[in-house]
Chain A
């Protein structure tokens, strides 16, 4: 389960709305009350959440692609069963999240269509390829690890259905990270070639994973509203730092080198990383990452190939309903 800095807010258009209701709404948020689907909410709150939750859902679904790529080539049956279960979980996470997004008033079909039309984003991390088996270990360890950092605070998000979905997701996410780390550990204890493969995967994923937390706080303009509404509880840089501090010792245990020669440890224990190349992040977001076109093509093909199933299921349900009505009339 993956979210990155998709949590940017819409411009504030509450001027048009009842100021009293907006004040009451903010008072409920400040009192740590949860907002539920039928409660009054500012239009911008609804819009921000619809976008954030649906993009989070799209990320889960697209996230099945890079890992699904290795299911048939997993090195053992144990690894294959685990990877299959993990990819299935990602699908489940996408579905919990779509359901949460729908409570804000958009239909599932609208949300999915927006993604297929390229109008809705998904996490840019999935636009990188999985070249070797070590990439599967790295994704579980780092991509899911970063996702957990992002998602734990979302369990306390002010919007009830989103918070509840995140609680389910976080419970399942820990398995993903552990299975990834175990793959890395096995490779690092294996032959020199296997260890080199693990190092190569870390080299390729490290910087894109740090970008998952979104732009630096200094350039992120919209966080204020999301923070005020308690959708977002920690800043991008705070979460990124937490992640780096947690990950460095794990890499050291594996005997792998983080591909950042400038990295130093502060007296207070925090690991300071070098400047992130944000032009790469912008390029991938703009559709120019290594796999953007592949991912969209795969999603569109899956959607089109499944059209007959949806039509058949709808026709069958309609026929049964008709028969029941006829029988009731007899």
Chain B
């Protein structure tokens, strides 16, 4: 019997309390349990994490880099969202 291609998983690790899970890489595994164990062996051999998430890569919806201009335009034109847009006299001090 031909073995089907083993599914791909994305691995996220939270390195310390208070930090968010961060993407560290991907791996292949047949199911979620094996994916978690493989993630431990591949990505946390030196105490890199306190918690691991594995997510099937197929479950991720990504924005299209080719359309990033259109996608992020609404933020780029709004410089008044940044604190430095507003003038505060020096005499007022740090604000």
Contact = CB atoms under 8 A, between A and B. Distances in A.
B4 interface: yes
Contacts of B4: 314
Chain B residues touching A, range: 20 to 34
Contacts of A310: 3, 6, 30
Interface string B49-63: 000000000000010
B36 interface: no
Interface string A97-123: 001001000011100000000000000
A92 interface: yes
Given A310-B6, A311-B1, A92 B27 contact: no
A36 B64 CA distance: 11
Nearest to B4: A314
Contacts of B74: none
B42 to A, nearest CB: 5
B5 interface: yes
Interface string B5-37: 110100000000000000001111111001000
A40 B8 contact: no
Given A109-B5, A307-B3, A313 B45 contact: no
A172 B47 CA distance: 13
B95 interface: no
B60 to A, nearest CB: 12
B89 interface: no
A95 B27 contact: yes
Contacts of B69: none
B30 A108 contact: no
B64 A317 contact: no
A99 B27 contact: yes
A317 B31 contact: yes
B45 to A, nearest CB: 6
A89 B27 CA distance: 15
B6 A108 contact: yes
A234 interface: no
A42 to B, nearest CB: 15
A88 interface: yes
Contacts of A40: 66
Given A313-B30, A316-B31, 13 more contacts: A36-B65, A38-B65, A39-B65, A39-B66, A96-B25, A107-B5, A108-B28, A172-B45, A172-B46, A311-B3, A314-B4, A314-B6, A314-B30
Report the 8 A-B pairs with minimum CB-CB distance, sorted nearest first. A313-B30, A317-B30, A317-B31, A310-B3, A99-B26, A38-B65, A92-B42, A39-B65
25 contacts: A36-B65, A38-B62, A38-B64, A38-B66, A85-B45, A88-B45, A89-B45, A92-B41, A92-B42, A95-B27, A96-B25, A96-B42, A99-B25, A99-B26, A99-B27, A102-B8, A109-B5, A172-B45, A310-B6, A310-B30, A311-B1, A311-B3, A314-B3, A316-B30, A317-B30
